[in-house]
């Protein structure tokens, strides 16, 4: 084992006053060189989405020292700003994970040492409410302690900019440079919390922000008579999956007039163990196991779940046989969009300059729907901060009106008083859309099928290939370089008509002609085939995974499903070939 790794391990072991959980973790890896290598062989990467990692001791782990280092990076950056801007301070929220509250308060103590005010929620709150709080309180930045939908052993640290969106790349890169300058994790200064509270540098926030946020959330619903006449009695199930939606979502639903929904009681406990599901992720069927049981007992129309930090939302719809079918993130987004645009057209308030914003790896069904209503589509890079940037541009330039934003990964934004995906907004509108179809004797699933009949049958799948360990990054880089060095010309028996390399900002057609892509550079490749299939390849910014996104379009559901299955097999073969090169 590398001497540097052993030296780092010994430095941590010899550190006085180390928290008990880190002492236990160090003892566990005492005779495990692989664990030491993974914990101390590198540092947690900090990118435009912040940092995320496994909890534990080490430079490659989430702990109070790596959190302090991240907060010190933000504080050092803010020290370069003018005094009035610094004094606007930082809003801080946290979810229900292990050490989330501790990490939030440690961040405030680091900022406080720099005399930067902090406004810390008194208890767990959703990520979208943190985004709202930054805007509502006019702070310069925000910190959200969350690992979103990751398993229980993870936590994370996300920085938000003054518009309420995740910190833009320019500022994020500067913060990262300051983080790396503070390489001695044990030398970062903090001010005791009581001292900061007494000096009103660290401030607690709560109900006042809740009420302001909920007041805005009530503007999301469109047809209040529909909710009163149908939604109020509609049976559906909601689960916060042991997270931050447990209070805010329920208050929002009740204020909107939904009176007959039932919560999954076991999953309303803010438990960092996530004991009822291995994956607190509403895109996975297992997350709905308890909701499904409850739904069958009640004959509930819809099952809805938000992830632990309540920025993502998934749902399942009851079928004639009494079982439930999960909708994909793309399907949820499309049915929401279709309802919003139809309602606005009916009311006569569909703007001539309306636009939706989606990521480049999200469905092509949504642009078809938008175009049928005369609404434009703006494709942006993956990461909701790019949707937030587009909204900011529209509000500044007054050249478009934002109508809806989404990513295929179960993230949606309806009203831009928040600048991140918002499951609280979405649960209200999705319940209304379910009520709309119920009023016609139909379900959300029927609504999706109607869209398919009108616009084409779409099927999609995301394949995430994991690359754990220290050599994981090298393997991920190898896959991307192999694809760049040897561009695909054929996939699943079909020709590649064009491909995009968002790293070089070049779109290349089958004849080799190139045009420039007007987007920021990003490590993403995308291919369009001659049968209207597309494939995108992208390394995750927060997890050790390379993601392969697939979407197909055909004239029937069976044909689309068959085509997709062939593409999935082709991706598996392609991965094997790439790893063997």
| Backbone CA torsion sign across 17, 23, 29, 30 | positive
What is residue 96's three-state secondary structure? Answer: coil
Instruction: Report which of 164, 166, 87 is spatially closest to residue 132, judged by C-alpha positions.
Output: 164
Q: Which residues pair with 318 in a beta bridge?
A: 324
Crossing angle of the two packed helices 444-455 and 365-372, in degrees rounded to 10 = 80
| Residues across the chain | 581
Task: Spot the catalytic one: 76, 96, 118, 148.
Answer: 148
Classify residue 462 as left (phi > 0), alpha (psi -120 to 50) or beta. Answer: beta
Give yes or no for a contact between 240 and 249, defined as CB atoms under 8 angstroms apart: yes
Give yes or no for a contact between 111 and 175, defined as CB atoms under 8 angstroms apart: no
Phi/psi at 244 (nearest 5 deg)?
-75, -15
Instruction: Report which of 295, 313, 299 is spatially closest to residue 253, judged by C-alpha positions.
Output: 313
Q: Which residues pair with 359 in a beta bridge?
A: 380
Element (H, E) at 347: helix 329-347
Burial 2-14 (b: 16+ CB within 10 A, else e): eeebeebbeebee
Residue 148 known to be catalytic: yes
Burial class (CB in 10 A: 0-12, 13-18, 19+), 114: middle
Tell me the CA end-to-end span of the chain in Å, nearest whole number: 28
Contacts of 170 (CB under 8 A, 6+ apart): none
Number of neighbours of residue 226 by Cβ within 10 angstroms: 19
Number of neighbours of residue 515 by Cβ within 10 angstroms: 12
Burial class (CB in 10 A: 0-12, 13-18, 19+), 93: buried
Give yes or no for a contact between 23 and 30, defined as CB atoms under 8 angstroms apart: no
Half-sphere exposure of 11 (CA within 13 A, CB side): 13
Residue whose structure tokens are 């085509």: 563
Q: Which residues pair with 166 in a beta bridge?
A: 160
State the maximum Cα–Cα separation within the chain, in Å, rounded to a whole number. Answer: 71
Rounded to an integer, what distance in angstroms lies between the CA atom of residue 246 and that of residue 124? 10
Rounded to an integer, what distance in angstroms lies between the CA atom of residue 165 and that of residue 383? 10
Rounded to an integer, what distance in angstroms lies between the CA atom of residue 222 and that of residue 339? 10
DSSP assignment letter at 232: G
Residue whose structure tokens are 């995301």: 462
Report how far Cα 378 is from the mean position of its chain's Cα atoms. Answer: 19
CA 575 to each of CA 361, 539, 544: distance values in angstroms, whole numbers, following the listed order: 19, 13, 15
**Residues identified as active-site:** 148
């Amino acid at each position: 084992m590398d001497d540097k790794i052993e030296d780092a391990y010994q430095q941590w072991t010899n550190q006085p006053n180390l928290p008990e959980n880190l002492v236990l973790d160090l003892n566990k890896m005492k005779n495990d060189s692989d664990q030491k290598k993974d914990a101390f062989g590198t540092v947690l990467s900090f990118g435009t989405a912040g940092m995320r990692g496994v909890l534990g001791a080490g430079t490659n782990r989430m702990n109070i020292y790596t959190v302090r280092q991240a907060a010190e990076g933000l504080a050092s950056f803010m020290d370069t700003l003018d005094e009035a801007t610094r004094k606007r301070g930082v809003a801080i929220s946290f979810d229900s994970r292990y050490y989330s509250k501790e990490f939030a308060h440690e961040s405030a103590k680091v900022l406080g040492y720099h005399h930067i005010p902090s406004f810390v929620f008194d208890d767990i709150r959703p990520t979208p409410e943190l985004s709202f709080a930054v805007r509502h309180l006019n702070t310069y930045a925000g910190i959200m302690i969350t690992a979103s939908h990751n398993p229980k052993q993870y936590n994370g640290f996300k920085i938000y900019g003054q518009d309420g969106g995740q910190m833009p790349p320019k500022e994020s890169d500067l913060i990262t440079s300051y983080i790396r300058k503070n390489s001695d994790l044990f030398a970062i200064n903090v001010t005791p919390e009581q001292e900061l509270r007494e000096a009103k540098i660290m401030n607690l926030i709560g109900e006042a922000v809740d009420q302001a946020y909920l007041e805005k959330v009530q503007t999301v619903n469109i047809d209040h008579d529909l909710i009163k006449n149908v939604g109020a009695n509609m049976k559906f199930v909601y689960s916060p999956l042991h997270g931050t939606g447990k209070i805010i979502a329920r208050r929002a639903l009740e204020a909107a007039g939904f009176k007959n929904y039932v919560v999954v009681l076991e999953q309303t406990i803010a438990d960092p163990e996530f004991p009822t599901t291995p994956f607190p992720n509403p895109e996975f069927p297992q997350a709905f196991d308890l909701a499904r049981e409850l739904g069958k007992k009640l004959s509930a129309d819809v099952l809805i779940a938000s992830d632990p930090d309540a920025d993502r939302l998934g749902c399942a719809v009851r079928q004639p046989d009494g079982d439930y079918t999960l909708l994909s993130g793309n399907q949820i987004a499309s049915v929401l969009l279709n309802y919003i645009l139809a309602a606005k057209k009916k009311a006569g308030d569909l703007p001539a300059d309306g636009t939706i914003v989606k990521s480049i790896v999200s469905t092509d069904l949504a642009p078809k729907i938008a175009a049928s209503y005369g609404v434009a589509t703006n494709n942006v890079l993956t990461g909701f901060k790019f949707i937030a940037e587009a909204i900011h541009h529209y509000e500044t330039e007054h050249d478009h009106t934002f109508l809806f934003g989404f990513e295929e990964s179960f993230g949606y934004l309806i009203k831009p008083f928040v600048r991140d995906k918002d499951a609280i907004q979405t649960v209200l509108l999705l319940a209304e859309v379910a009520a709309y179809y119920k009023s016609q004797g139909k379900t959300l699933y029927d609504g999706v099928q109607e869209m398919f009949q009108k616009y084409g049958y779409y099927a999609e799948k995301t394949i995430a290939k994991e690359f754990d360990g220290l050599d994981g990054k090298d393997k991920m880089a190898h896959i991307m370089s192999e694809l760049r060095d040897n561009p695909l010309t054929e996939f699943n028996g079909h020709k590649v008509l064009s491909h995009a390399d968002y790293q070089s900002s070049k779109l290349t057609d089958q004849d080799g002609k190139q045009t420039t892509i007007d987007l920021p550079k990003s490590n993403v490749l995308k291919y369009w085939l001659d049968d209207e299939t597309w494939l995108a390849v992208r390394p995750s910014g927060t997890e050790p995974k390379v993601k392969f996104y697939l979407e197909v379009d055909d004239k029937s559901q069976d044909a689309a499903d068959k085509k997709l299955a062939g593409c999935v097999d082709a991706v598996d073969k392609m991965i094997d070939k790439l790893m063997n090169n």
